[in-house]
Structure formats: C-alpha cells, structure tokens
Structure 1
Amino acid sequence: MQSTHRIWPRIAMASGATLAVMGLLTACTAGTPDSGGAAEPAADTTVEDNAATGDTITIGFSGPAADHGWLGAINTAAIAEAEKYSDVELVVAEGTNDANLQISQVETFINDKVDAIVLLPTDGAALTDVAIKAMDAGIPVINVDREFSSTFAARTTVLGDNYGMGVSAGTYICEQLDGEKDAVVAEIAGIDSLPLTQERSKGFADALDDCGLDVSNRVAADFTVQGGEAAASQLLSAAPKIDAIWNHDDDQGVGVLAAIDAAGRDEFFMVGGAGSANVMRSIQADDTVLKATVIYPSTQAADGIALARLIVQEKGMSDLVESSVPRKIQLYAPVVTKENVEVYLPSAFES
C-alpha cells in the first residue's frame, strides 16, 4: 500500500553529547549477561522521581522506511514521546529497508557516542552484530518489535504480541459464534514467510481449537491494499459461505473490504488486526461487516524512548517492586469493539 507517512530526515546531533558510562544489565535482572560496571538504579523509584528532569541525554533512533501505516505511526509516536522530555535530545536516522544502511546508521550513533539507541531493525538477525558492538561500547540498546538473534544485543526488548493477537482474534470469534460447531471460519494472513505471520496464525488456530473450530479457508496477502484485495477476492470465490473472517492487518484490510463490497457479501462478520483509525471509525459506525480489530501497538518505539531515558538516568519503573527496567516487555493485544472503541481510537494510526 502507499503509506500516508514519511520518515523524517536525519537530524544533526548536538555536539558535546556525553556518553553515559553504565552497565548493560543490572545484576538483579535474572538470566541476562553481565558486562560489568553496572550502576544500580535508585531504590523505590516514584512517578515523581521518573518525571523529574535529569541530565540531558542523547538517544539515537533508527527504524525501517514508513511504507506502511503502522510503521509511520511507530516513528511519529517515538518522536512525540521524546518531545515530552526536556532532558532528551533525539537523533532520528532516515528510515530504510536496507539492512546495510541501517547498520551504518547505528555505527554513526556509536561513533557519535550517543547515550542510548532505540532500534527497530529492518532485519533483526542482520542488525545483531552492530547492536552488540553498541552494547560493548557501553551504549544500551533498546530493541523494538523485531528481535535480535542474541541476548547480548539489547539491554531491553519491547515487543508486540503476535501470538496473542491470534489468540485474541480467535477467542472473540469463538464468543460471537457461541457454540456453532459447523461454522466456517476464514483467515486472511499477512506474509506467510514471516515469523510474525506464523505466530499470529498459530495463536488463531489454538484459540479456535479451544472452542472446537478450525480455519476452513485461508489465504495469505502481503500487508498492502492491493494484496489484501487480491487475496480476499480469491477467498470469496473459493468459499460460497463464511461465518467469520480474521484479517491479520488493517492496512491490507482496506483492500479486503473493497473486495467484500465488490462481491456483495455480508453474511459474515470480520475481525481486523493492528488497530488502524479508519478501521476503528468503521467499527464505531457499525456500517460494515467489520466488527472488531485486535491491537498490535504502534507505541513500541515510543515505549523504547521512555525506557531508554529511565535506563540511562539510572531510574526504574515506578509501578514495579523490582528497581530495574525489565529485560523484556511484551505489550498486550486487546480486542477493540463498538463498546470500547473510544478508549483506543485516540492512539490509533491512519492506514
């Protein structure tokens, strides 16, 4: 699909940024590597402590090209989060889907001695070595969405829950079909070769199995409007009767709904995925077959910015008894319906 967002050009970094000399992981975080020299965060951190202005830090941020509404929202939210803090200077690298270019961006951050790096890698495995290089230089890396292939490559990882998305979608469909054991459930997946698609499909299948259903018809698209329309047209031609559809991605869902309208089909209900604003408005209006969507948070990089600040300033998460920022945080995948859409619409992204 054509994205409605653009990635910002690389912002020149202010000179004189100080490298925060800190341990990569604290000794009290179990199961993580110890690089030595770790500074302990203050015990009993409060909300007021975390909000208080500290020493100014520089955070480097790099993510893929915003060729998808969700990715555009990732970047927008990260920049907006940094702007909340007078003690954070954010350096934004140009968005790219070229792993080699992104590696060079991280190397520039290392050479410029930023205090932390928030990185949504275009390819987690390909960016692992340079992330380890940053960690070895004493620069904490916050890994977002696509995991590195080594534990040593990140201080903290912020993830969505792809398996949980499938579980949430399947559970909602089970509840709506309420014991209809012969119901026809269809699935329009994303790119089948991606682990995230495989995890979503597995979660969906597991949830359906729990209520005695399975996926009767399944096609895969490519997270684009055009791909969604083509895949949905194929599905509708192959399945003369459907009771429920889960479409993995709301951006490709624009095409899916176009195909449904063109086919004149309305005997089923549909659940979306990711949580776009246009889908939520449709759910709110209740004027299509689309009745729900499952959130895949576009706040992950913004959370990464907030966590990077806490880590460098040796603060913790005030709502946890543990005084250190956790090594891994996985965000929830709630179902958005007409009843709760007003809660989620303000933070939704535009497809």
Structure 2
Amino acid sequence: MKKLSWTLALSASLLLGACSMSPNGDDSASKDSEKSNDDMKIGLSVSTLNNPFFVTLSDGAKKEAKKEHVNLTVVDAQDNASKQASDVEDLIQQDVDLIIINPTDSEAVASAVESANDAKIPVITVDRSSDGGKVVAHIASDNVKGGEMAGDYLKSLIGDGAKVAELEGVAGSSAARDRGEGFHKVADKGLDVVKKQTANFNRSEGLTVMENILQSNPDIKGVFAHNDEMALGALEAIEAAGKKIKVVGFDATDDAVKAVKSGKLAATIAQQPTEIGEIAVETAVKSLKGEKVEKNIPVDLELIKK
C-alpha cells in the first residue's frame, strides 16, 4: 500500500513539474505565440517620396504606427522597380512581421511579393496592386470610378466631341491602367482623345510632354492627367503658351487644391492618402493579431472643383 502511495505521489510530482514548464498551460503557449504591438515590426515600401501624395500616405502610416505603438520602417523606391525589389529583400532580411507595399510597377513588384510569401511574411498593397503573389489586403480608391468621374466632369465643361489629351502615369502601374480605363469609358463615347502619352506621374515630365502635345495639337480643349503632379506640369505649359484649356487631375494634393480654388485647375479627384496610410497600418496590426481583414478595402473618392 505504501509502495502504491509513493508511486502515485511520484506521478503527481512529475505531472506538476511538467506543468510548471508552462505555468498557465496551453493558454499561455498560445498567447506567447502572439506578439504584442510593441514587438511588431512593419515595413512600408513607398514607390516614391518625391511625390506629395505618397509623402502624405507615408505620414498617415507613421501617425497610425505611433498610435498603435508598432515599429514602422519606411523605405523609398524612388520610382525604380529594381530598387523596390531590393528594398523588400532588405525588409525580409530584417525579419519584419509584415510588409506594406505601394508598388512602383504592378507587374514588376510581383516577384518581391512572392519573395515575402516564401519567407512567410504577409503583404498588404496600397494605392496600386500587385499582378502576382498573395496579399492579405489591398487598400485603395476605386481608380476606375475616379477616371470616370474625371471624364464626366471634363465632358461637362468642354462638350461632346471636344478634342482632349491624356497624360498617363507610370506604364505598368495599376493606378495608370485603372484611371485610364475609367476615363475611356466616358471619353471613347463622348470626347475625341487626339493624344495620350506617359509623363510617369512626374510634374516636370508633365510640363515637357504637354509642350510637345500643344505643338502638334494646338486646338485641344481639355486634358485629363492621371495625377496632380502631371496636371500641374501641364498647366505650366498651357499658361506659357497663353492658352485656355481645362485640366482635370487626380489625387487632390495641396498644390492641386490651391490651383482649383484659384481657378487654374478645373478639378481634381480626392483620394485621401492620409486615410490610406492609416488604414494600411491598422489593417496590418489586425492581421498580425489573427483578426479577419477584408481582402479589398476601398477608400472614398470626391470630385474637388471650384
């Protein structure tokens, strides 16, 4: 009887010893596998910080990261797809928990997204999508709808059949594709697009491209630019040529909104980049905590006119 009692006591002791390795049992083990906000490391790869829109988006992300008490590392691809791929690889090597990517080129960025997938690091895309790889969520305005809004308003200003030019964004970017698609849903039926050419979302290129367009098409009545930087560059060329041409941009940057208020720019489509950045970090934190997030998260658009 004593031997049986000793055996039972030993078994109980061993069981208690095993449990002491995890004081709170299985619940503690599962909790230990989840990181606290302070331990979360998030990377943000921005297409370029030479564009006010993406500076504002980045600032929104930083603001939300501070609010959520998470560590955010921002890297600037400088509108170079190869650099963006390298930047993402660096973030992977830094063992970040999640990467937010604003693609320079939607097709080229796919390999970087796939590299993050292989490293078991979740990815969120913002403003522009990736043509490949798996993403947790995509956060952006409805660029097709925005292009339609721009086309409808431009047509209301200059009338059916008027000659217009289109300044396209970076070739291969989803934003350029979608804004162009939306615009042409209107323009192909009610406007005469005599010239379209890329100016890479850049103000100085917008100026140069618009100068060239005016030389070969001096009778155009309107311009749709895929972003405000190109629209403002186009305005410089139009003013220098002494012409009155209606220009509609996209993004509602501070400079563009001022130009609308002064009557120089006909309109711009507001995207709310601060909100895009904030939602991206908020969504990242939810995902890392194991909460369900929407695959596509739209951000409202607004036509800004005088």
Report the TM range for the smaller structure's normalisation. 0.7 to 0.9
SS in 2 for 1:329: strand
Q: CA deviation at 1:196?
A: 3.6
Pick closer, same or farther for the CA change 1:64–1:249 going to 2, 3 Å: closer
CA distance in structure 2 between the partners assigned to 1:291 and 1:252 by the alignment = 14
* Contact 1:19–1:113 (Cα < 8 Å) also in 2: no
Q: CA deviation at 1:305?
A: 0.9
Query: Which residue, out of 142, 167, 170, partners 2:148?
Result: 167
Following superposition of structure 1 onto structure 2, how do residues 1-351 of structure 1 map, counting pairs within 5 Å?
A: 56-86=39-69, 88-93=70-75, 95-97=77-79, 99=81, 101-150=83-132, 152-177=133-158, 180-192=159-171, 194=173, 196-210=175-189, 212-266=190-244, 268-286=245-263, 288=264, 290-299=265-274, 300-315=276-291, 324-338=292-306
Which residue of structure 1 lines up, in the alignment, with residue 27 of structure 2? none
Pick closer, same or farther for the CA change 1:332–1:216 going to 2, 3 Å: farther
Q: CA deviation at 1:311?
A: 1.5
Identity %: 28
Q: CA RMSD in A?
A: 3.2
TM-score scaled by length of structure 1: 0.66
Amino acid at match of 2:129: E
CA distance in structure 1 between the partners assigned to 2:196 and 2:86 by the alignment = 40
Q: CA deviation at 1:191?
A: 4.3
Amino acid at match of 2:268: T
Instruction: Give unpaired runs (5+ residues) of structure 2.
Output: 1-30
Q: CA deviation at 1:258?
A: 1.4
Pick closer, same or farther for the CA change 1:19–1:147 going to 2, 3 Å: farther
Instruction: Give unpaired runs (5+ residues) of structure 1.
Output: 1-17, 23-52, 316-323, 339-351
* Higher RCO structure (Cα 8 Å, ≥6 apart): 1
Aligned length in residues: 275
* Contact 1:164–1:332 (Cα < 8 Å) also in 2: no
Pick closer, same or farther for the CA change 1:97–1:337 going to 2, 3 Å: closer
Amino acid at match of 1:144: V
Amino acid at match of 1:64: S
CA distance in structure 1 between the partners assigned to 2:253 and 2:261 by the alignment = 12
CA distance in structure 2 between the partners assigned to 1:298 and 1:270 by the alignment = 21
SS in 2 for 1:121: coil
* Contact 2:105–2:170 (Cα < 8 Å) also in 1: no
SS in 2 for 1:84: helix
TM-score scaled by length of structure 2: 0.75
> Which structure: larger Rg?
2
CA distance in structure 2 between the partners assigned to 1:106 and 1:255 by the alignment = 31
CA distance in structure 2 between the partners assigned to 1:102 and 1:225 by the alignment = 21
Which residue of structure 2 lines up, in the alignment, with residue 25 of structure 1? none
